[in-house]
Structure 1
């Protein structure tokens, strides 16, 4: 089952009610129910309620759509589920008309309810929280009746891939810290990967140096007070959707997270640590002014050069010419790996875009169908313009893609294969990058060492 966004109705209430009560779509009007109003005069009764409550709300009503997977339910059961949804969500405070359509290859419910409550006189608060509540109630009812959740594949895809798709370059930049938000993101990501339970996550965050306040929202503050000294709430509009308390709990339970943790351990292991550099004795003022420092520098240089020679031998290099050739090849190999990583990332980005566009079509399909049947009605178009435009843009984008015929589960499988390929390439890139830095430092040390002893 999928529930689209709630669409506000400001001007076309009568038209919208007529559409959802179309006899051809509702089994000759058998599948129509209403609460505290007559379906045929609901538009007048909604307006009367608004006047009696002295409401200044611009929105007359709201339109909710509930869809069911093809072939898994009957019109009667779908209608009963719609009634249960209305009872639980509206709690007897809002007038509504519910109809079940049977004409689009899959059953779907339309609910048009008054924006103003005849009990409280207040306007309905439509926001992310209220929408999430409707989705949750609707999913629970469907599962109780043995029905599937149509957009569950989309949700799984988003949960699996929305936080793990950083490119290698982005990942390494992210690890450097940057802003307080990046540091907190990274700490939360690491704590999730290391924790089997929510309680372990909280303890791990404390071990990372964060103070935690637990209330409606999780709040964090680093004990070194670098993060402005204030607590930061783990809210979607502050840290992002994947860092809310609810989403953190979901990510902790994700069985695929261990593979990502192993990947991160590899990055930590291969993170480049700059080798020592030989002191340029000829141009160093401290060497010229301090005999003790000169002696230390000589010993340091011999030790560092010996280390550089060992590094070169580790890579099969025995001469200066071999070092130069190896450097050129390492740089070329690293660039080729980076190109392949970018290619995999671009393909993953294309798949991600297709999944998003498919979801946009699914959410707005029924509104677009209504628009096609009412194309001459300009008021209807203006009322639902954002949904219609979103649908048409998504359709246009999908037509350009070679993945448009694949289902979301198959796209998810393909994305997973590409992600594994990218992980392998990034491991190779990490090693190649590590080796290149080693060789560059070895060449620099060799050049300085030879120059130091050239005229001796």
Structure 2
């Protein structure tokens, strides 16, 4: 069953009132999601600036700038219906023509970057013919939209579309998954960490705020469009953390991955990112190393074929990357046997124990600054953070009289430079230890997954060998 949902694009209260419309247009026309803009249509062209200017020209002609800036339809299909990107383009074109009748500036785009095919349609809030503003009222779905979608579904032999309101969508959507996907897409077009934050705000229309947690270190609070509350990065997977985002962007600008080349029974040098591993002959490799390289080779061969969808390509590429990490881990630690793996895991567990101990000692060392007062009052670090926030608002001339009074009070309470230096020292030390903890835990995960996979495979090979031996013995008895 397909799903249709309608969202409105609000006027921004601060800054450029049409910024939400501008960002929404850039979001749906993202080349990474639309086969380099092949899957874009409408009556305003394919260039984002041209589309946006056409929308704004219509508003200018009819002198209707404020209020809702536009509307955003999403039509998605279940993977079981096997809707292709081109078929989805036809459906979006039919829907725009039937519903808007070429009276509204509109752009539609099909995204094929996920397992389920889906299309986006953005249209102007102002009718280019009559100058009236579009209004959606209760009952319009059953009266006007449902008959159109039913007609299109019947035309292409698909199940009927079901309408989901924006409020219902917020309850049902997997926000963590959406944030991960948007971060991944934004990283692919970012030059550095600061550029990433800027693009998340301008192109993806996210609210972004950096903070510092005593337990987790530096974090980002992500507030995606359509969600009422922000999600802090430490509640999300590691790829959403600031330090990992910086690492991924820096690696993206290094050399591409080159998988090992197998010629007869020998491997050439195996490349991972821009680092070259030690040269090892195939006949000198351990079973762990052989299995790891064979996985990379097979996945790479499959990836190089023409695949039906980008999400399948992405799945295989992820498999290659996981295998490359496993291979790099095995070569780095010289793991050749199960005993080697056990020894490395013991060392890693001990290192994790030591870094956790260092984190506890660091928090204890700074307890006077971290702990709240006996009366429940804020800690010195929390007061300092409040002062930094108020000073930032003051620099932007967005501070109220009461906030200015609070800032003056804090400055009298603290020796500002002293607390600031201690705060930065703690911040730096804690982030370094948390990064080291993340590195150790990542290697432990690689060790567990590698050992488990290879042991299971070796066990299957041994069972197959025993069965073959049994078959041979039975044949010998019959002879």
Q: Report the TM-score range of the alignment, normalised by the length of the smaller protein.
A: 0.3 to 0.5
Q: Which has the higher contact order (CA 8 A, sep 6+)?
A: 1
Which structure: greater helix fraction? 1
TM-score, with length taken from structure 1: 0.37
